Amino acid sequence: MNAGQTIAIVHLFPTLMGTYGDGGNLLVLARRAKARGLTPQVVTVGPGDAIPAQGDLYVLGGGEDAGQVAAARYLRQSAGFKQAAEAGACIFAVCAGLQVLGTDFEVAGGAIEPGVGLLDAVTRRREPRAVGEVWAEVLPEAGSAAGLPPLTGYENHGGGTALGPAARPLARVVSGIGNGSGGPAGDGTEGVVQGHVLATYLHGPVLARNPELADRLLSLAAGGATLPDLATPYVADLRQEREAYVRSGKLSADSVRTRR
Which residues contact ligand GLN (rule: CB under 6 A)? 20, 62-65, 68, 95-96, 156-159
Q: Which is nearer to ligand GLN, 38 or 170 (CB)?
A: 170
Q: Beta-strand (E) ranges in 100-221? A: 104-106, 112-114, 121-138, 151-163, 168-175, 189-194, 197-200
H-assigned helices in the chain: 24-35, 65-77, 79-86, 96-101, 206-209, 211-221, 233-247
Q: Nearer Cβ to ligand GLN, position 33 or 170?
A: 170
Closest by CA position to 201, among listed 169, 154, 235, 239: 154
Element (H, E) at 6: strand 6-12
Cα of first residue to Cα of last residue in the chain, in angstroms, is 41
Q: How far is the CB of 86 from ligand GLN (least distance, A)?
A: 26
Phi, psi of 221, deg, nearest 5: -65, -30
Residue facing ligand GLN at closest CB distance:
62
Residue among 69 and 238 whose Cβ is closer to ligand GLN: 69
Q: Which of 221, 195, 245 is nearest to 58 (CA)?
A: 221
Nearer to ligand GLN, 38 or 119 (CB): 119
**Shortest distance (Å) from residue 82 CB to ligand GLN:** 23
Least distance CB 134 / ligand GLN (angstroms): 12
Tell me, what amino acid is at 108?
A: A
Q: Among positive and negative, which fits the CA dihedral 252, 102, 196, 187?
A: positive
Amino acid letter at 92?
F
Report the C-alpha gap between 113 and 106 in whole angstroms: 6
Residues 6+ apart with CB under 8 A from 30: 9, 40, 42
The CB-of-139 to ligand GLN minimum distance in angstroms stands at 22
Shortest distance in whole angstroms from residue 156 CB to ligand GLN = 5
Q: How far is the CB of 57 from ligand GLN (least distance, A)?
A: 19
Choice between 52 and 184, CB closer to ligand GLN: 184
CB of 201 to ligand GLN, least distance (A): 8
Report yes or no: 43 and 89 within 8 Å, Cβ to Cβ: no
Note whether 180 and 160 are within 8 A (CB). yes
**Cβ closer to ligand GLN: 109 or 224?**
109
Q: Which is nearer to ligand GLN, 30 or 93 (CB)?
A: 93
